[in-house]
């Protein structure tokens, strides 16, 4: 499969998995953000991981789409006025701007259970043992040990960064900030990448060693992706990214570029991408799709 | 088991299932609302349903506690400024008043997956088939087909009720409002009662007929409970209820008492409770706990 074939398949499947039931407004609100134009990176990676480990990528379609739903859930709640307060996402108005805050909160809530419900409904052929494993992976990544842990520390880090700048590096150790940033990137970003790749591998009956390998790959790729995002936040335009940029810097947020500077950020990004290529090569894992993704992130 | 023994067991188990991990603030925020003083009605019903159908109530403890976590999740998000905007709950400050809005949103999100994760972690003895059934029940009740559907229509009904009052019963059929109210009560309240009773029954290996019976019981009990809550909102005090009262009436909200009046509300409450007693008797289901709960709701 080519990248665009995967993307088309994912978009068609999401449309099928998300009919507009009653009460329509909540289902429309859920679907609005899930179907915003996007690269479908996480579901593509899930399908490709499944294929790469010898599975049938079609078996991973419901799980892949569920991960895109979960990703949309995090976007809807992150964009809320009480969180990042963003009006645009992928060039379109954010969920609460279209449906109102109350519905945006509820649409996010609904997606958190609609996603695994979709897996259970459409993946019965995987058998109950494998389905439970996928549920465990999903809960771990979606909850307070996963993306939410990253989001919470991200919010708290704003204060930390401000006092770091204010105190002129005297009271706060820079290594503390580095550890904090690594924690945020690992959980806020890499955990969903891990979920996509690990569940794809699990569906393909990958063994424990293979799952460890793909987890390490996902950790490197996830952090690389977030560094690229931080770089783009400084160097890109609204038209290119479809969201308001430069806000991180303005708000004194802890990001890779604010902590290490643009040059070191680019250097570390290249290192992480090189690690990813090395992991694929060392383990004789062949995938044009992952090569394309790695090159795209490197050349952000 | 006596009511108080169940309640103590639930409180102890919740405390055990919810250690304060890193990042502490999110786990503290989650636990804050779950452990607010309360009657633990839903988890008690889950344990008692399991016992009543011949199961070991101890097998239902993780599921029962997970349902209390889900209930707390709905309270945290319902109380948000963009929803009901409530400052007090069970006599204590609401979650966002203590931890801030962003953390309250995230604590609710986290509970939505922490709850089923708790079931998977502590109920392995139930076997994978039964665990998957419980997951399905949980997703159905927690999501856009369950409590969230009720909440969405509840929000929308405020406008409907206002235009009903404004138009003096000309443009809007009263039967439409009655249907809407029934929908709200069924989903916003009875669906969690059904979840508690059905999962308790499933854990006890109840057959389909028994599960249908307990679902009907839960529907009657859930609506009765909500009518009692609407009556108390009009007739009770802050000290008795621990939350701000009379808001529903003030905001022209669609409630049982606003639509039918206090007398008819009490009459229908008694009818529903009588139905519940009849269901128990007809099916030779004996439970002092359920009798206590029914009497308590009737004498609200």
- State pLDDT tens for residues B98-127: 999 999 999 999 999 999 999 999 999 999
- Who's near B295: CB < 8 A, 6+ residues apart? none
Distance (Å, whole) CA B215 – CA B132:
19
Distance (Å, whole) CA B219 – CA B44:
17
Name the percent of chain A lying above pLDDT 70. Answer: 95
Q: Determine the residue among B143, B147, B153 to mutate to test chain A binding: the one whose Cβ has the most chain A Cβ atoms within 10 Å.
A: B143
Interface contact B152-A114, CB threshold 8 A = no
* Residue B160: predicted pLDDT: 72
Interface contact B152-A25, CB threshold 8 A = yes
- State pLDDT tens for residues A129-172: 999 999 999 999 999 999 999 999 999 887 777 666 666 555 56
Q: In terms of C-beta density within 10 A (0-12 exposed, 13-18 middle, 19 or more buried), how is residue A203 classed?
A: buried
**Domains in chain B, number:** 1
- Who's near B70: CB < 8 A, 6+ residues apart? B111, B112, B115, B138, B141, B142, B192, B195
- Who's near B12: CB < 8 A, 6+ residues apart? none
Residues forming a β-bridge with A92:
A89
Inter-chain contacts counted by CB atoms under 8 A, chains A and B: 132
- State pLDDT tens for residues A53-108: 999 999 999 999 999 999 999 999 999 999 999 999 989 999 999 999 999 999 99
Return the biggest CA–CA distance within chain A: 59
Average pLDDT on A251-262 reads: 88
Interface contact B113-A151, CB threshold 8 A = no
* Residue A238: predicted pLDDT: 73
Interface contact B120-A139, CB threshold 8 A = yes
- State pLDDT tens for residues A98-122: 999 999 999 999 999 999 999 999 9
- State pLDDT tens for residues A192-227: 999 999 999 999 999 999 999 999 999 999 999 999
Cβ contact A49:A29 at 8 Å: no
Alpha carbon of B101: minimum distance to chain A alpha carbons (Å): 6
- Which parts of chain B register pLDDT below 50? none
* Residue A171: predicted pLDDT: 58
Q: Determine the residue among A71, A99, A110, A124 to mutate to test chain B binding: the one whose Cβ has the most chain B Cβ atoms within 10 Å.
A: A110
- DSSP per residue over B229-290, as a string? HHHHHHH--HHHHSS--SHHHHTT---HHHHH-HHHHHHHHHHHHHHHHHHHHHTT---HHH
Q: Determine the residue among A81, A82, A100 to mutate to test chain B binding: the one whose Cβ has the most chain B Cβ atoms within 10 Å.
A: A82
Q: Which residues of B touch A18 (CB under 8 A)?
A: none
pLDDT surpassing 80 at residue A244: no
Alpha carbon of A228: minimum distance to chain B alpha carbons (Å): 26
Alpha carbon of A27: minimum distance to chain B alpha carbons (Å): 7
Q: Determine the residue among B139, B179, B184, B188 to mutate to test chain A binding: the one whose Cβ has the most chain A Cβ atoms within 10 Å.
A: B139
CB half-sphere exposure, A295, CA atoms < 13 A:
6
Residue with tokens 């069970």: B90
Nearest to A106 among B30, B106, B148 (CB): B148
Q: Which residues of B touch A114 (CB under 8 A)?
A: 139, 143-144
Q: What CATH number does residue A129 fall under? A: 1.10.600.10
Could you tell me the pTM of the whole model?
0.96
Interface contact A116-B128, CB threshold 8 A = no
Distance (Å, whole) CA A116 – CA A195:
13
Q: Determine the residue among A123, A129, A133, A139 to mutate to test chain B binding: the one whose Cβ has the most chain B Cβ atoms within 10 Å.
A: A139
3 state SS for A79-102: CCCCCCCCCEECCEECHHHHHCHH
* Residue A166: predicted pLDDT: 62
* Residue B217: predicted pLDDT: 98
Q: Which residues of A touch B151 (CB under 8 A)?
A: 106
Name the percent of chain B lying above pLDDT 90. Answer: 84
* Residue A5: predicted pLDDT: 98
Neighbour tally for A157: CB within 10 Å: 19
Nearest to B129 among A108, A128, A151 (CB): A128
CA closest to A117 among chain B residues: B139
Residues forming a β-bridge with B72:
none
Cβ contact B42:B67 at 8 Å: yes
CA closest to B108 among chain A residues: A109
Average pLDDT, chain B: 94
Name the percent of chain A lying above pLDDT 90. Answer: 84
Nearest to A128 among B77, B103, B132 (CB): B132
CA closest to B115 among chain A residues: A139
3 state SS for chain A: CCHHHHHHHHHHHHHHHCCCCCCHHHHHHHHHHHCCCCCCHHHHHHHHHHHHCCCCHHHHHHHHHHHHHHHHHHHHHHCCCCCCCCCEECCEECHHHHHCHHHHHHHHHHHHHHHHHHHHHHCHHHCHHHHHHHHHHHHHHHCCCCHHHHHHHHHHHHHHHHHHHHHCCCCCCHHHHHHHHHHHHHHHHHHHHHHHHHHHHHHCCCCHHHHHHHHHHHHHHHHHHHHHHHHHHHHCCHHHHCCCCCHHHHCCCCCHHHHHCHHHHHHHHHHHHHHHHHHHHHCCCCCHHHHHHHHHHHCC
CA closest to A146 among chain B residues: B110
CB half-sphere exposure, B95, CA atoms < 13 A:
32
Average pLDDT, chain A: 94
* Residue A173: predicted pLDDT: 78
* Residue A164: predicted pLDDT: 65
Cβ contact A67:A115 at 8 Å: yes
Cβ contact B152:A25 at 8 Å: yes
Q: Which residues of A touch B27 (CB under 8 A)?
A: 144
Q: Look up residue B141 and give its two tokens.
A: 């009740």
* Residue A168: predicted pLDDT: 56
- DSSP per residue over chain B, as a string? --HHHHHHHHHHHHHHH----SSHHHHHHHHHHHTSS---HHHHHHHHHHHHTT--GGGGHHHHHHHHHHHHHHHHHHTSTTTT--SEETTEE-HHHHH-HHHHHHHHHHHHHHHHHHHHHH-GGG-HHHHHHHHHHHHHHHSTTTHHHHHHHHHHHHHHHHHHHHHTTSSS-HHHHHHHHHHHIIIIIIHHHHHHHHHHHHHTT--HHHHHHHHHHHHHHHHHHHHHHHHHHHH--HHHHSS--SHHHHTT---HHHHH-HHHHHHHHHHHHHHHHHHHHHTT---HHHHHHHHHHHT-
Q: Look up residue A4 and give its two tokens.
A: 């665009």
Domain assignment of residue A197, given as a range? 3-298
Interface contact B23-A135, CB threshold 8 A = no
Interface contact B113-A139, CB threshold 8 A = yes
pLDDT surpassing 80 at residue A18: yes
């Amino acid at each position: 499969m080519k990248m665009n074939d995967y993307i088309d398949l994912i978009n068609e499947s999401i449309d099928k998995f998300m009919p507009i039931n009653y009460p329509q407004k909540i289902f429309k609100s859920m679907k609005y953000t899930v179907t915003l134009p996007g690269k479908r990176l996480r579901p593509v990676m899930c399908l490709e991981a499944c294929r790469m480990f010898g599975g049938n990528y079609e078996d991973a379609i419901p799980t892949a789409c569920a991960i895109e739903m979960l990703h949309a859930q995090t976007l809807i709640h992150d964009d809320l006025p009480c969180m990042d307060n963003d009006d645009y996402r992928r060039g379109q108005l954010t969920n609460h701007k279209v449906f109102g805050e109350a519905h945006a909160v509820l649409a996010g809530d609904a997606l958190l259970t609609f996603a695994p419900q979709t897996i259970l409904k459409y993946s019965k052929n995987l058998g109950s043992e494998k389905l439970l494993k996928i549920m465990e992976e999903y809960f771990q990544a979606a909850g307070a040990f996963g993306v939410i842990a990253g989001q919470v520390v991200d919010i708290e880090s704003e204060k930390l960064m401000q006092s770091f700048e204010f105190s002129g590096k005297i009271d706060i150790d820079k290594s503390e900030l580095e550890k904090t940033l690594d924690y945020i990137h690992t959980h806020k970003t890499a955990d969903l990448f891990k979920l996509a790749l690990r569940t794809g591998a699990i569906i393909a009956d990958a063994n424990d060693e293979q799952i460890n390998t793909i987890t390490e790959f996902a950790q490197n790729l996830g952090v690389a992706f977030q560094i690229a995002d931080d770089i783009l936040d400084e160097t890109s335009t609204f038209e290119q990214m479809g969201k308001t940029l430069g806000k991180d810097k303005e708000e004194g947020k802890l990001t890779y570029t604010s902590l290490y500077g643009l040059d070191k950020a680019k250097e570390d990004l290249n290192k992480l991408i090189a690690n990813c290529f090395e992991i694929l090569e060392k383990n004789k894992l062949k995938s044009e799709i992952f090569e394309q993704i790695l090159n795209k992130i490197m050349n952000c």
